Amino acid sequence: MHILLTGATGLIGREIGKALAARGDTLVCLVRDTASARRRLPFPATCHAWDHAREVPAAALQGVDAVVHLAGEPVADTRWSARKKALIRDTRVLGTRRLVRAVLAHGGAVQTFVHGSASGFHGDRGDELLDARSAPGSGYLTDVVRAWEAELRPLAEARPDLRLPVVRTGVVLARDGGALAEMLPLFRLSAAGRLGDGAQWLPWIHLDDIARLFLHALDRAGSGMLEGVAPQPATNRQFTSALCGALGVRENLPVPRAALHTLYGERAAVVLASTRLLPTATQASGFVFDFETVEHALDDLLTPLRDGVHQRVWEQWMPHAAEVVWPFFGDARNLEAITPPFLGFEVLRQSTPEIGAGTLIDYRLKLNGVPLRWQTRIETWEPSRRFVDLQARGPYALWHHTHDFLPLAGGTLMRDTVRYKLPAGWLGQLAGGSKVTADVERIFEYRARKVDERFGT
């Protein structure tokens, strides 16, 4: 299929895009910044610049068979100023209005329009059991979701032949983004606990399941509402206990409601809302969840992070076969070209003429301006497929870097998985955890730009 995807650089969009590209679909993406998207998208796509304030380019709809619409300003990343609330609403309501208008004008071949909505439709409902048939709640987010979904009516009325599934997504659990990633720093230090009395229900779903659900909606589900939540909602108390258990840390004292309102402002309503939503329509449509309990989901996501270990994955697609790009990444000297200047990175020597399993490579670099020596040992060496390097001597308690080169859509998906641990336990984490995390992100953002300049399209 030829598919138009919005929100492609987001947490869910990246996973959906990879899955579609892997099965042979062709993707067109509407993005704010085409150059940035090219570096961030882990799959091939034709990108058109667009945001909610302008019309969708007609060229983006040419030959498109289906639309998957995910775009919208994040809800829970910052405090809600008047400007933030306007963006939350306008990116959804005005953006959907313009996209629907474009499909009606230029998308005659479109047969399916999958709309990503939100469980916020139901609002704060206490212990009431809810599903897609339940009435809307009340409050700001409910009003936004109702207005958002109302923008689909012209499409449904003008194109009754078109399938229009709507996925109301709950809180997506993922290791490298979303609400869970925001919680982790304090929980790692055993400095966090349940919110308020912990009785509020959390409509959660694992990232793998929500990505699969959108593909299910695209391929098989009929028009109508689908609940993007796991079969067993959890109270905040249950969620907190499962999170601490998966990380192997202690649960701290509860956070009083008053403190949450002080910290988050109006956004605290999202944190404290209780939505006991069940996936009745989703399961009736034939979808089967891989992660039904919050314990199973959090164990899958967080067990690799036990004992103070951090793990981060970066992915970048290149329009070349692995055999073409491997020689560059397999030469230690080229690391200098893709490492940011602030590290003062320099390769000194390697123990064998050709790199292979067991090779030792010595570097010189600076961390926070302090000159250091670092020695890497190549643990695994599989040409054109993967290599793994491990810190043999250096500043970290653990640094383990896996480089995978995966065939995808006629090119290569380069996946870097870094696992690291700071020295001095919780004290090292408290003193430098956020700084190290920020520096590692800077390193790989710089690397992505340099890789794009050399191997991009």
354: CATH: 3.30.530.20
* CA 271 to chain CA mean position, Å: 20
Is the domain of 155 the same as that of 220? yes
| Dihedrals phi, psi of 199, to nearest 5 degrees | -85, -10
Q: How confident is the model at residue 160 (pLDDT cuts 50, 70, 90)?
A: very high
**Residue 282 confidence (pLDDT) above 90:** yes
What is the average pLDDT across 245-254? 94
3-state secondary structure of 391: strand
Domain's final residue, options 307, 323, 340: 307
Q: Which residue has the higher pLDDT, 426 or 222?
A: 222
Is the domain of 372 the same as that of 260? no
**Residue 114 confidence (pLDDT) above 90:** yes
Which pair of structure tokens corresponds to residue 46? 């034709």
Is the domain of 65 the same as that of 204? yes
Return the pLDDT at 268. 76
Return the pLDDT at 431. 75
Return the pLDDT at 298. 98
Distance (Å, rounded) from C-alpha 399 to C-alpha 29?
35
Q: What does DSSP assign to residue 145?
A: H
Domain's final residue, options 283, 307, 331: 307
Per-residue exposure over 282-307, b if at least 16 CB sit within 10 Å of its own CB, e if not: beebebebebeebbbbbebbbeebee
Is the domain of 194 the same as that of 147? yes
Structural domain range at position 330: 309-455
Query: How much is the pTM?
Result: 0.95
pLDDT digits (tens, 9 = 90+) for 164-190: 999 999 999 999 988 899 899 999 999
201: CATH: 3.40.50.720
Tally of structural domains, the chain: 2
Domain's final residue, options 307, 324, 352: 307
Return the pLDDT at 347. 95
Is the domain of 333 the same as that of 398? yes
Which pair of structure tokens corresponds to residue 392? 């043999």
The Cβ of residue 370 has, within 10 Å, a number of other Cβ atoms equal to 8
